[in-house]
């Protein structure tokens, strides 16, 4: 069925932390109010933490928009007034084409002919056959909002109304127009993705289970695709950046055997960077100590000399606040 319907390009649950999207929205609402009012920035790492919270807000509200389209039965159809793009990039979305009055394909986009149109005009409009067929074939998709200043484009009709209602429901009393681009830059995200061309499912040769192999475009989440098969959210302990797979990476997602870790993409360079979110330098030192203890515990569990990249490893600070670097002696640890 997914070959015909496509799948919902939700942000994965790991994007929002252990407390979930509603908690992320609440924290970002407080953060955004402070940034607009100029009351942030005195606390160490405040700017970076604010950026993290605001990014989570955009992700959570996009998920709300996409879930609303699913509930409304509008996931598999285009609205007159939608902003559409190819399925792997929403960098420059365009307005959907409308059918001309004589029943042919309209040369104008919705925005070009609707500046003086009423809401009823858009309600009665139909999408041009060219875009309808392209949508059915998975060549284009509707896009959803990444709320912020600039970059969001301007949908019309029901698409615009749904975006406005999502913002008003979760950000009551806060005007989107009051946000500056320097505080939160807006954009679009593809709402529906086709099943990957290299998608395959096979039985695990040893364990009782299945192996899913596929390649996703950058910014998409393997957990969101797998959700379509298990019918519920998949809790991943991976960081959200690790879930994003670049189209050119050639990496395949293999979820059949969690007990046999695959080589991480950073191992070829022998190092990996990871960021710790801390309120103070004292907390950062505690987190550093905890990381070292965790690595010692992992080494104790595995007798293999290459378990953590050879006989030695080290965690060091970098010049960026909160960013640590794990280095291994081996250039390609197993």
Cβ atoms of residues 114 and 103 within 8 Å: no
- Kindly report, residue by residue over 88-123, the tens digit of the pLDDT: 888 889 999 998 765 555 544 434 444 444 444 565
Q: In the beta sheet, which residues pair with residue 188?
A: 145
Going from the C-alpha of 217 to that of each of 17, 53, 186, 214, 274, the distances in angstroms are 23, 24, 20, 10, 22
Neighbours of 111 (CB within 10 A): 17
78-93 burial by CB neighbour count: b if 16+ within 10 A, else e?
bbbbbbbbebbebeeb
Neighbours of 33 (CB within 10 A): 14
CA distance 293 to 282: 17
> What is the reported pTM?
0.66
At 15-52, the pLDDT tens digits run: 888 888 998 899 888 888 877 766 554 554 567 778 88
Whole-angstrom distance, CA of residue 91 vs CA of residue 94: 10
Residue 210 burial (CB count, 10 A) = 12
Q: State how far the Cα of 15 lies from the Cα of 320, in Å rounded to an integer.
A: 22
Q: Return per-residue pLDDT of the chain as tens, 334 residues.
A: 788 889 999 999 888 888 889 988 998 888 888 777 665 545 545 677 788 889 999 999 999 999 999 999 999 999 999 999 999 888 889 999 998 765 555 544 434 444 444 444 565 678 999 999 999 999 999 999 999 998 899 999 999 999 999 999 999 988 898 888 888 899 999 999 999 999 999 988 887 788 899 999 888 999 899 888 876 665 443 333 333 333 323 333 333 333 333 333 333 344 445 555 555 666 667 777 777 677 666 656 554 444 444 435 555 554 444 555 555 544 433 3
């Amino acid at each position: 069925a997914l070959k015909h319907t496509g799948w919902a390009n939700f942000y994965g649950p790991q994007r929002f932390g252990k407390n979930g999207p509603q908690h992320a929205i609440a924290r970002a609402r407080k953060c955004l109010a402070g940034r607009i009012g100029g009351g942030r920035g005195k606390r160490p790492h405040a700017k970076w933490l604010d950026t993290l919270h605001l990014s989570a807000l955009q992700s959570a509200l996009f998920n709300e928009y996409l879930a609303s389209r699913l509930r409304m039965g509008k996931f598999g159809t285009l609205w007159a007034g939608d902003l559409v793009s190819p399925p792997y990039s929403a960098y420059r979305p365009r307005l959907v084409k409308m059918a001309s009055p004589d029943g042919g394909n309209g040369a104008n986009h919705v925005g070009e002919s609707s500046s003086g149109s009423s809401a009823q005009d858009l309600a009665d409009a139909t999408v041009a056959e060219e875009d309808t067929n392209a949508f059915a074939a998975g060549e284009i998709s509707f896009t959803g909002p990444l709320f912020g200043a600039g970059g969001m484009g301007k949908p019309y009709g029901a698409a615009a109304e749904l975006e406005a209602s999502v913002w008003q429901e979760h950000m009551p009393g806060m005007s989107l127009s009051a946000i500056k681009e320097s505080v939160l830059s807006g954009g679009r995200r593809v709402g529906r993705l086709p099943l990957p061309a290299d998608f395959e499912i096979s039985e695990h040769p040893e364990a009782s289970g299945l192996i899913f192999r596929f390649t996703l475009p950058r910014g998409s989440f393997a957990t969101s695709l797998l959700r379509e098969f298990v019918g519920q959210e998949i809790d991943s302990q991976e960081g959200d950046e690790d879930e994003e797979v670049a189209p050119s990476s050639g990496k395949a997602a293999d979820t059949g055997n969690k007990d046999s870790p695959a080589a991480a993409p950073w191992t070829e360079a022998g190092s990996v960077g990871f960021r710790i979110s801390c309120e103070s330098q004292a907390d950062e030192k505690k987190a550093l100590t905890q990381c070292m203890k965790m690595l010692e515990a992992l080494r104790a569990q595995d007798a293999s000399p290459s378990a953590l990249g050879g006989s030695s490893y080290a965690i060091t600070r970098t010049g960026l606040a909160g960013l640590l670097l794990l280095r291994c002696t081996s250039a390609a640890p197993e």
